[in-house]
Amino acid sequence: MTMAAHDSSARWRTFFNEAKEAEVVLLLSKQSENAVLSITFHELQAFDPEFAEDVLIDPRNIIDNGRDTLTEICRERGEDIDCLLRVGELPKDSRRDLRDVGSRDIGKLRSAEVIVTKISEIKPRIHRAVFQCEACGHTVEKIQDNERELKEPLRCPEETGCGELAGRSGGTRFILVMNVSRMVNNQWIEVQEVPENVPSGAQPSRAHVLVEGELVNKHLPGQRVIINMIPVVHSEVKRNKKTPMFDIIYHLVSSEHESTPFTEIKISDEDREAILDVGSRPDLLQLMQRSIAPSIYATGVVHYVKRSLALQLFGGVSRINKDATRSRGDVHILLMGDPGVAKSQLLNYMSKLSPRGMFATGGGVSGAGLTAAAVRDDFGGGGRFALEAGILPLSDRGMAAIDEFDKISEEDRRTMHPAMEQQRLDVSKGGVKATLNTRCAVLAAANPIRGRFTKRGANESVMHSFNETGLPPALASRFDIIWMLRDEVRVDDDERIARHILEVRTQGISESKIDEAMELDLREADEGQIYDEGVDGSEHLTVEFLRKFIAYAKRNIHPDLNDDAKAMILDYYTKERQSFGRDEQQYAETEVIPITPRALEALIRLTEAHARMHLRNIATADDAKMAKAIFRHWREEAGIEDESELMSGVSVSQRNAGNVVRAVLRELCTDKGVAELNNILNRCDNRGVKDHQVEEVLSKMLQSGELFSPRTDEYSFAR
498-530 pLDDT, tens digit per residue, is 766 676 666 666 767 666 665 444 444 455 577
pLDDT value of residue 585: 40
pLDDT value of residue 343: 79
Element (H, E) at 124: strand 123-133
Percentage with pLDDT > 90 across the chain? 0
210 pLDDT higher than 80: yes
* Interval 325-375: pLDDT, tens: 788 888 888 888 777 777 777 888 888 777 677 788 876 665 567 777 777
CB atoms within 10 A of CB 703: 9
pLDDT value of residue 378: 64
Percentage with pLDDT > 70 across the chain? 79
Q: Name the most confidently modeled range: 104-118, 621-635, 683-697.
A: 104-118
1 pLDDT higher than 50: no
* Interval 659-714: pLDDT, tens: 777 788 878 887 777 788 788 888 787 776 777 777 778 877 777 777 777 777 77
Domains and CATH numbers, the chain: 1-89 (3.30.1640.10), 92-259 (2.40.50.140), 269-506 (3.40.50.300), 652-717 (1.10.10.10)
Least confident of 3-17, 92-106, 185-199, 651-665: 651-665
Average pLDDT, the chain: 77
| Banded pLDDT at 489 (limits 50, 70, 90) | low
582 pLDDT higher than 80: no
Burial of 473 (0-12, 13-18, 19+ CB in 10 A): middle
Residue (of 77, 73, 84) closest to 38 by Cα position: 84
pLDDT value of residue 405: 81
CA distance 379 to 94: 28
CA distance 558 to 233: 47
Average pLDDT of span 377-384: 62
Which residues, in sequence order, are CB contacts of 410 under 8 Å at separation 6+? none
* Interval 17-66: pLDDT, tens: 888 888 888 877 776 667 788 888 888 888 888 888 888 888 888 888 88
Average pLDDT of span 183-204: 83
584 pLDDT higher than 50: no
pLDDT value of residue 537: 58
Q: Name the most confidently modeled range: 103-117, 504-518, 639-653.
A: 103-117
Least confident of 272-286, 395-409, 463-477: 463-477
Higher pLDDT, 264 or 204: 204
- DSSP code per residue over 395-433: TTTSEEEEESGGGS-HHHHHHHHHHHHT-EEEEEETTEE
Strands (E), 307-349: 319-320, 326-327, 333-337
Least confident of 225-239, 389-403, 446-460, 472-486: 446-460
Distances (CA, A) of 394 to 196, 357, 397, 505: 13, 9, 9, 34
Q: Name the most confidently modeled range: 381-385, 405-409, 507-511, 623-627.
A: 623-627
Q: Is 79 helix (H, G, I), strand (E, B) or coil?
A: coil
pLDDT value of residue 593: 46
pLDDT value of residue 525: 47
CA distance 646 to 448: 18
State the first-to-last Cα distance of the chain, in angstroms, to the nearest integer.
99
